[in-house]
């Protein structure tokens, strides 16, 4: 298969997952790019570039469907914009092996959190605007953006279980907010990686091609597939994506 056709196919697949699960695609793209011979840093760059494209299209679609809480997403997104701006610096000073171990641990943590039942669902969800201060939301976004973009993920894999467990939001609402957050963190992360010369012409081209496929995929995921899934099926599929990503990254670490 031509390498560009492969990139579009990868983007299409991850775009569908982004639309359904609110993840940036790094869970899938980083391990696949590693398997195709790219370095960890290059894989992160490709992943982040496609995130910016797919999350923008996905957020526009979610906003039109009225499934996106814009004010809440804006606060978290602004924090992500700041936190992700430090990602290029971290990639320059921390080894890729250490980052891959952190990546695997975060996937395990996210799986555990997502399995646990949400706490105080009705109380917190109904009163979020009174009990979740803007500063707290901003800091959550900043911390998530800092760690997520450094690992080549948009932050959705961390934000979705966090909002589900601590705020009691249903999985589909978490997806819309997670995808909007990724828009901010990925744009900031891309500029940071360009500044530190991690994103070069080759990475930029690959990221753009994968991103083209992901734009088509995210539309399919949001417009068609999301309407066919109930809450239980949606959660089960999210856990499946986490598990697959963990297996790929562990294989890359030890074999």
- Over residues 178-221, the pLDDT tens digits come to 888 888 888 888 888 898 888 999 999 999 999 999 999 988 88
Sketch the domain layout of the chain as residue ranges: 3-254
pLDDT at 159: 73
Mean pLDDT of 150-157: 69
pLDDT tens track for 8-57: 999 998 888 777 776 777 777 888 888 888 888 899 899 999 989 988 98
Q: Cα separation of 26 and 251, whole Å?
A: 16
pLDDT at 245: 67
- Distances in Å between the Cα of 219 and the Cα atoms of 7, 61, 185 are 18, 8, 20
pLDDT at 123: 44
148 against 61, higher pLDDT: 61
In the 8-state DSSP scheme, what is residue 225? I
For residue 226, what pLDDT band results from cuts at 50, 70 and 90? Answer: low
Q: What b-and-e string marks burial along 74-90, b requiring 16 or more CB atoms within 10 Å of the CB?
A: bbbbbbbbbbbbbbbeb
pLDDT tens track for 115-152: 765 544 544 445 555 555 567 778 777 877 777 776 66
Q: Residue 228: is its pLDDT beyond 90?
A: no
Mean pLDDT of 55-69: 87
Burial class (CB in 10 A: 0-12, 13-18, 19+), 228: exposed
- Distances in Å between the Cα of 94 and the Cα atoms of 29, 49, 103 are 21, 21, 13
**Residue 61 and residue 123 in contact, taking contact as beta carbons nearer than 8 Å:** no
Number of other residues whose CB lies within 10 A of the CB of residue 65: 13
Q: What are phi and psi of 185, to 5 degrees?
A: -65, -35
pLDDT at 209: 94
For residue 86, what pLDDT band results from cuts at 50, 70 and 90? Answer: confident
pLDDT at 213: 94
pLDDT at 154: 67
Q: Cα separation of 118 and 52, whole Å?
A: 29
Q: Cα separation of 87 and 206, whole Å?
A: 20
Taking the complete model, does pTM exceed 0.85, yes or no? no
Burial class (CB in 10 A: 0-12, 13-18, 19+), 161: buried
Q: Cα separation of 180 and 71, whole Å?
A: 11
pLDDT at 183: 87
């Amino acid at each position: 298969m031509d390498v560009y056709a492969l990139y579009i196919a990868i983007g299409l697949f991850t775009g569908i997952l982004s639309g359904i699960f609110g993840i940036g695609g790094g869970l899938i793209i980083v391990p696949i790019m590693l398997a195709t011979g790219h370095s960890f840093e290059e894989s992160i760059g490709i992943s982040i570039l496609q995130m910016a494209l797919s999350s923008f299209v996905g957020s526009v679609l979610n906003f039109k469907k009225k499934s996106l809480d814009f004010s809440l997403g804006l606060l978290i997104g602004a924090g992500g914009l700041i936190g992700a701006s430090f990602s290029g610096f971290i990639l320059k000073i921390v080894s890729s092996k250490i980052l891959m171990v952190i990546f695997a641990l975060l996937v395990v943590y996210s799986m555990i959190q997502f399995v646990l039942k949400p706490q105080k669902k009705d109380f917190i969800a109904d009163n979020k605007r009174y009990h979740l201060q803007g500063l707290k939301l901003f800091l959550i976004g900043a911390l998530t953006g800092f760690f997520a973009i450094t690992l080549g993920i948009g932050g959705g894999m961390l934000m979705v279980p966090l909002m589900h467990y601590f705020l009691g939001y249903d999985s589909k609402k978490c997806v819309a907010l997670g995808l909007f957050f990724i828009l901010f963190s990925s744009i900031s992360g891309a500029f940071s990686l360009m500044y530190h010369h991690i994103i070069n012409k080759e990475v930029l081209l690959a990221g753009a091609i994968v991103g083209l496929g992901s734009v088509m995929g995210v539309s399919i995921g949001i417009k068609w597939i999301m309407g066919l899934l109930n809450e239980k099926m949606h959660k089960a599929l999210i856990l499946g994506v986490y598990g697959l990503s963990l297996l790929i990254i562990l294989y890359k670490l030890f074999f």
